[in-house]
Amino acid sequence: MPHSYTMIELSVHAHVATLTLNRPDSRNALNLLMCQELTRACQQLSQDSAVHVVLIEAKGSSFCAGADLKERQTMSTADLVARRIEGFTAYAAIEALPMPVIAVVQGPAFGSGGEIIAACDFVLASTQACVKYPEVGWGTVGATQRLPRIVGRRMAKELLFTGRVVDAQEAHALGLFNHVYAPEDLHTQARAMASGIAQCNPLTTRLTKRSIDQGLDTTREGAMGVELLAIQENLQGSDWKRAIAKFGQPASSTTP
């Protein structure tokens, strides 16, 4: 990739981009530079038509321990507001990626880590993963928008007011995690899923993502209009006749 990064790593192979949080010594705590690099990496990926799927993962035992509190100790109120805006910008950049984005969570995702995974399309996690929203306990406000849309209003209030740790099995039951795997199987399963999605028509997957996201933010009638426009764009931009012609045909084989 043409850009260089310090707090993250970015690579692309077989139409699958892997964006890796790379501060393992700090449990991948989110600092100002990481926010800015996440935003820049997402801008880069959004312009790359060769990328069909994005995996967001992390080095070390933690996915993301939250905001970098050591960095915040030296900040003024104005600095802290600016840092929070950079974080919001990074989460929004992840959410705005046009292709499917999968969080691969091997360990704790606290605070900002919970925001990152909520901005992804869905989450694959290890049995060692867990989630915590400590904002209220820190005397600040956060995670009030994406979390309720995933777990519902009442559960979001409980998780935010108590700041308790949600283990992998409960996170799965609440819809925070889509699937939970043994630690040794997580990355194999994630890459297999990403590879399968990457083989689909990238226009179709992007339009499907857009239709779901935009449709949920409008009325049922408006949502049907969103899907009809996506269908029209897909028909104009994909070889749908060839795809239908191949349906039901036996797989090719060679005679020994």
- Condensed to tens digits (0 to 9), the pLDDT of residues 211-253 reads 988 887 877 777 677 677 766 767 786 665 666 566 556 554 4
Rounded to the nearest 5°, which phi and psi values hold at 241? -65, -40
- Please say whether the beta carbons of 205 and 125 come within 8 A: no
In total, the chain counts a number of residues equal to 256
149 in the same domain as 119:
yes
Specify the pLDDT at position 252: 47
227 in the same domain as 187:
no
193 in the same domain as 208:
no
Specify the pLDDT at position 248: 58
Decide: helix, strand or coil at residue 67.
strand
114 in the same domain as 33:
yes
Residue carrying the six token digits 């990152």: 116
207 in the same domain as 96:
no
Residue 255 included in any domain: no
97 in the same domain as 37:
yes
221 in the same domain as 125:
no
Residue 195 token pair: 């590879």
Decide: helix, strand or coil at residue 21.
strand
143 in the same domain as 219:
no
207 in the same domain as 194:
no
Q: What is the reported pTM?
A: 0.89
Helix (H) or strand (E) holding 181: strand 179-181
122 in the same domain as 71:
yes
Residue 83 included in any domain: yes
Residue 18 included in any domain: yes
Residue 74 token pair: 């030296």
| Domain span including residue 224 | 202-246
Specify the pLDDT at position 1: 46
Residue 254 included in any domain: no
Per-block average pLDDT, block size 10, for the chain (256 residues)? 84 98 97 97 97 98 93 87 94 98 98 98 98 94 96 98 98 98 98 98 93 82 71 69 60 41
206 in the same domain as 193:
no
Residue 252 included in any domain: no
Decide: helix, strand or coil at residue 224.
helix
Specify the pLDDT at position 254: 38
Residue 185 included in any domain: yes
Specify the pLDDT at position 250: 57
Number of domains in the chain: 2
Helix 220-237 vs helix 202-215: angle between axes, to the nearest 10 degrees? 170
Residue 253 included in any domain: no
32 in the same domain as 108:
yes
Q: Kindly give, in sequence order, each residue whose CB lies less than 8 Å from that of residue 182, ignoring residues fewer than 6 positions away.
A: 126, 127
- Please say whether the beta carbons of 90 and 70 come within 8 A: no
Residue 226 included in any domain: yes
CATH of the domain at 81: 3.90.226.10
Closest CA to 17 of 181, 194, 192, 178: 194
Specify the pLDDT at position 19: 98
What is the C-alpha separation between 117 and 22, in angstroms, rounded? 16
Residue 197 token pair: 């999605």
